[in-house]
A and B are shown apart, each in its own frame.
Chain A
């Protein structure tokens, strides 16, 4: 039996908090675990595999988390490839369950990035002694700057405009206005985005994701077991993983990690882009969405600007993207991949009220982690209601 269709997401929970100065990362993870296990009709005693990463967990942090939860799992995975980690965790969990190494996997995230005042976009760098940063820190590369390098090249090469990028931020804010838990719910216009201050040209403040606190949890098990649980199973149909980096000085900045991971995920799922009802795309910055849609193959490379600017990615359009409001407007507690999976699952179950994509049966989820123009990871899932 192939992996595609054999594994299901049985439970999800997005922590409603966006500001939690009185909580710890592990506490938010534990509260989220309770929510997702309740959603799945399971208990903590059923869990035999643990997956997590966070802004502050060390290399052995997954062991500390097992201790905190008093778990002794048979399968541990603390993979940290940036914000995409949790999308990859779902795929890793599926492979492990399919191989018979565990039965019920719990994927966790928790963060107090906002209340701890982590300046993720423009406050990391300076004099760092780690080899990985030794060729970027002396030049003042910021997280935003690494994405801006790609945006600038895209604009020059393809004529992509700042108005087209702004349309992505406007769309996410519209979606957030329909999400009662979203942090930023007041609608904005393209002019608002262009009038917001420049952070790293050509990206404005409103081209950048917000920083919030938050967390979430996902429960993965076999499709067979999920069929006996209360919620309709959401099946993993395809998955893929990838990395893009400087390639000893030959990196093509227009080709992102989504090209490889998306190609693998679509091939495994055996579906076409026209079959997809909605996308959950990591939106650290507006350019991330545009570059990801191109590299996943939803439009030709270079055509992303026109693709996003006629309402296509808005609720009611042909390909709604991030109906929860995304990291640009709902929540971005440092790493956001888990929310991509959670919202996709809720959409496919039809649980999203005012922001529901009508009749959604097939979702494409893509996480980007790291710094787009320097080194980043990609993880793609195709999730659906039918095998």
Chain B
């Protein structure tokens, strides 16, 4: 997948409970969890529905559209790769399906961003030793 913005992420830690999110991103999709018993859409992903405590969890492809719930332009972070790409935008994006996800907003002048602004999903491939096709979902202005 082509990284259009040049903003890089550390390789995520994908456990078997959470890999649906990262593997979905590898296909260019935002993948969320829904409980087939009660209908709850939940993020972050996990093995059980937090309402039912059952494992009746399915994954589905979300629209990839949302709005900026809140954000902060980060000017100081001593940890690579972020130390080399300051300033950058950390944000909560509220997805159309309900959950708010912690993420980055890329591909825009940070000073131009506003709470409530429409954004769409964007994906950055990350190097991984086993060549598995995972990527990091982040967002850019719609």
Contacts and interface: CB of A to CB of B under 8 A. Distances in A.
Given A140-B104, A150-B70, A122 B78 contact: yes
A140 B82 contact: yes
A127 B14 CA distance: 12
A142 B12 contact: no
B36 interface: no
B75 A201 contact: yes
Contacts of A58: none
Categorize the interface residue count of chain A. 35 or more
A144 to B, nearest CB: 7
A199 B12 CA distance: 25
Contacts of A251: 100
Given A140-B77, A140-B88, A249-B98, A126 B70 contact: no
A162 to B, nearest CB: 13
B74 interface: yes
Contacts of A122: 76-78
Q: Is the interface of A mostly helix, strand, loop or mixed?
A: loop
A131 B13 contact: yes
A134 interface: yes
A141 interface: yes
Nearest to B115: A156
Which of under 10, 10 to 19, 20 to 34, or 35 or more describes the interface residues of B?
Answer: 35 or more
Interface in B89-142: 90-92, 95, 98-104, 115, 126, 136, 138
Contacts of A197: 75-76
Contacts of A318: none
A23 interface: no
A20 interface: no
A130 interface: yes
Given A138-B10, A140-B90, A142-B76, A248 B82 contact: no
Interface in A98-141: 119, 121-131, 133-141
A369 interface: no
Contacts of B136: 138-139
B79 A125 contact: yes
Contact of B79 (A124, A144, A198, A374): A124
Contact of A139 (B98, B115, B138): B138
A106 to B, nearest CB: 36
A342 interface: no
A196 to B, nearest CB: 12
A134 B66 CA distance: 22
B69 interface: yes
B90 A139 contact: yes
Given A124-B79, A249-B99, A149 B71 contact: yes
Given A122-B77, A149-B70, A134 B15 contact: yes
A139 B104 contact: yes
B76 A249 contact: no
A267 interface: no
Given A134-B14, A153-B70, A153-B115, A142 B9 contact: no
Interface of A: 119, 121-131, 133-142, 144-145, 148-153, 156, 197-203, 246, 248-251, 253, 373-374
Q: Name the 10 nearest CB pairs between A and B, nearest first.
A: A249-B99, A148-B72, A248-B42, A153-B70, A127-B10, A140-B82, A126-B79, A249-B43, A123-B78, A201-B73
Interface of B: 9-15, 17-18, 40-44, 50, 69-80, 82, 88, 90-92, 95, 98-104, 115, 126, 136, 138
Given A123-B77, A203-B72, A250-B98, 10 more contacts: A121-B76, A135-B101, A137-B12, A140-B82, A140-B88, A152-B70, A152-B71, A156-B70, A156-B115, A201-B74
